[in-house]
Amino acid sequence: MCQEILSGNVHTCGHVSAQPGSNALLNDCFNARCRYSERHPSTCSGFECSSQCAQHMGSPILNPTDRVPYPCHSCSDAAR
Ligand SMILES: [Zn+2]
Ligand SMILES: [Zn+2]
Ligand SMILES: [Zn+2]
C-alpha cells in the first residue's frame, strides 16, 4: 500500500507536524495490485481495478526536514 511522504517541521517539544502545502512524495509499494503504484498497469481501470486493486493509500509518513524554534499546535494549546 502506497503512502504519501510529507515533509515536516520538528518542533521544540519533539513533535513533527506536516508542512501545509508541501509537495508530497509517494512511498511506492511497487505492487501491481495497488492503483497508486508505478507498477500498476495503465490498462487496469474501472470495475476490474476496483475489484482487484487497493484503492486507498496508507496513512502519510512524516519526514522531518526542518527544525523550528517553537512547540507544535497541540503543545502550545495545552500550555495555555
Ligand atoms: Zn501502493
Ligand atoms: Zn488496478
Ligand atoms: Zn508537541
- pTM, two decimals, is 0.71
pLDDT at res. 22: 65
Q: How many domains does the chain have?
A: 1
Which ligand is nearest the CA of 35, by number?
A: 2
Give the number of whichever ligand sits closest to the CA of residue 40.
Answer: 2
Ligand 2 centre and the CA of 42: distance in Å? 8
Annotate the chain with DSSP letters as a single string.
--EEEEEEEEPTTS-EEEPTTPPPEEE----TTBTTSTTS-TT--HHHHHHHSB----PPEEEEEEE-SS--HHHHHHT-
Contact (CB, 8 A) for 2 and 36: yes
Domain interval for residue 58: 3-78
28 CA distance to ligand 1 middle (Å): 5
* pLDDT at residue number 79: 73
11 alpha carbon – ligand 1 mean position (Å): 30
pLDDT tens digits, one per residue of 17-50: 988 776 789 999 999 999 999 999 999 999 999 9
